[in-house]
Structure 1
């Protein structure tokens, strides 16, 4: 399996090259040169399989000719030290709870898998690998935890000065060791832009071996397919008759990595009737689905802060998957943009009817799915983070203060970094990175 750049101006790369460089030399995102289809027989027994077993089969289908089967199995089974349950909310709506990992967010799956893949490709005695990650919420904590104390790897977490909750920020600023937080005086889009600029800076790359742990790295993205298959397997267990044309799946969207992984899973054979794209008011992609030109905008702060993205990187991957055919894209997905008031109202409604707490991102996906689902259809929404990570929003919606989880999801609460705070310029970032060597 080789990987090509969405910009089409770079040579094809091996998995190792794609993972260890993160971004293609031409600034594009890597994509697999072919998308293999899983044999239909796989779905005959999927309802009895564990998440690790399912993940191993999917991973083998995509990467089996690159990594030895026994090593790949160990990587997959080490990734899943936690369960991903499907919880019925309404009669036809289920929550796929992706927040039972070490940092209580869906990004634990991709970050833990990527950390093990990078460790697999790291060579003893070679230059240290420096992982750059921009975070709008949960990526920072998940990547920091996944790579914490991994020999030969440094992690630099770029985060915006505003928007993250105290819990999210604490998860990567409390670890120390090889984890270096960097506060950016700007937005998540500024953080993401700086990461991309660092990758194409020739002088910086000569000084440092850098790669990315955002979903721009193809091996952070691919493992996110695993839980789509596992969600479907649990739906089969819960329903007497499986939906013949697949489930409707609602995805809370920011940088569009999770959605892209779902689209790849569908291309590989997962029965999906359509995807629901759930945005907050940062709705560039939703507007595109409705027929408008794609127009990146400065993100606005919302209660669903991890989705405060104005220029999602993975839009280029979605365009590539569909050869730029907007009509085909719009047939496979429907977009919704929700205000803070609607998100809070959804959290309040589900809690009052079922006693079930949702975080703002899961609530966005739930409400978009509820509005979209037709009679007789079965829907799954991705619950991407534990509600305790957003105590103010939960309290505002339900009057309930969720129990603090800081101690359970961080390293040493007594660690206080002298965190550098820099302007959103590549020059300022380079000074920080090079001074850490």
Structure 2
């Protein structure tokens, strides 16, 4: 696979190079020049296979030729060692449960794959790296847990102070070791700005900076796998499916489009946002308008300038018409989110977290407005117990956390806090790390 920058001024690189570098030298995001496609018969042959074997087939086709194949397949199987069941809610609507990994969120898939391959490549090169990751919630948890204890790698997680849940903070800021957590006064967009500035700072080259955000293509490609797996469980043989995707930084949506480009028969995508409706507004008007993020119940989606928009646009040839022909956008209010949590539990005894509720609400609106009988799979991106207070407000109880996390409140938080969100303040802190 050869990858080029969305900014268009960098020479093509290998997947290995793109994974280690994170951001292209021109500030753009790496994207495959060509995506190897599966035939319908090859996709059908995967029906009934375990998720890990589907991952081996998909990722092996995309990038496996750059690695020792036996070692690569073993890394992939280790990364995909938990399930992602598709659960029917009736009337042609299903949810894809992506929250059975170590941090109870969909981002475990990409983070675990990236950590394993990253560690393997550094071992070969006898090198070291510093991973910078900005998070609005679940990304930092997944990256911190995925890279914790990996030799030759230091991880720095930046998150907006007071704008992640206490449980999310505990998942990424109680580890210590090679993981440093940093509270930033401001929003997720401030965190992301600091990371992007650091990547183009020549004075920080000795740190060998790289990214585990969706900036890094190594996080994105593995997420295409569960689209294949869910399609095989939800669609009739040879049929199509619609995916509804809760969207913040729109990396999950972009991964779905990559799966579509790899031959998966996806009829359409539904991009579901909260009040931070940059993409739905663009689909409606053709104008991309970044703006400060607004705080909502679905806080991991509180993004006012989604970095993966450049990739999503490039996958559609930079054409607004082509993009809106493939993706429908829906803005879901806080009231709709809460009502969807209640209604889904009353009708199906199924508990949705706020992010997943945004997706289901948009999926229902899409089916009503478009009268489309195609099966719809809505991505359930986080375990509802991660947002127990919000669930208690709507349903009168808090879902139970898995046993391994029931002591989370007693774990000491090991985060530092910046005095301001200025780049020089962050740069001094970063250079002072041991």
TM-score for the superposition, normalised by structure 1: 0.95
Match of 1:398 in 2: 395
The number of residues matched between the two structures is: 431
**Given the superposition, is the C-alpha separation of residues 124 and 376 from structure 1 closer, same or farther in structure 2, using an over 3 Å criterion?**
closer
The corresponding residue for 1:294 is 288
Match of 2:421 in 1: 424
Which structure 2 residues correspond to residues 19-418 of structure 1 after superposition, within 5 A?
A: 19-123=19-123, 126-205=126-205, 207-236=206-235, 241-242=236-237, 244=239, 246-373=240-367, 374-404=371-401, 407-408=404-405, 413-418=410-415
Query: Is the Cα contact below 8 Å between 2:141 and 2:169 reproduced in 1?
Result: yes
Uncovered stretches (5+) of structure 2, i.e. residues with no partner: none
Give SS of 2:67's match: coil
Q: CA deviation digits over 1:339-397, x for unaligned, max 9?
A: 11110100010011111100011100001001112353211000000000011211122
CA RMSD of superposed structures (Å): 1.7
Contact 1:98 1:383 in 2 (8 A): yes
Instruction: After TM superposition, give the deviation of residue 408 of structure 1 in Å.
Output: 2.1
Q: Which stretch has the larger CA shift, 424-433 or 352-361?
A: 424-433
TM-score, normalized by length of structure 2?
Answer: 0.96
TM-superposed CA distance for 1:426, in Å, is 1.8
Deviation at 1:409, TM superposition (A): 8.0
Measured at CA, do residues 325 and 125 of structure 1 come closer, stay the same or move farther in structure 2, by a change above 3 Å? Answer: closer
Structure 1: unaligned runs, 5 residues or longer: none
Distance 1:389 1:411, change over 3 A: closer
**Residues 47-97 of structure 1: CA deviation (Å, up to 9, x unaligned):** 211111111111111102211221221111000121111111122100000
Rounded to whole Å, the distance in 2 between the matches of 1:152 and 1:310 is 34
Equivalent-residue separation in structure 2 for 1:405 and 1:376 (angstroms): 36
Deviations 1:228-286 (A, max 9, x none): 000011114xxxx4473x11110000001000000010011101110000000100111
CA distance in 1 between counterparts of 2:136 and 2:119 reads 25
Equivalents in 2 of 1:360, 1:149: separation in Å? 31
SS at match of 2:65: coil
- Higher mean C-alpha displacement, 41-50 vs 388-397: 41-50
CA distance in 2: counterparts of 1:125 and 1:274, whole angstroms: 42
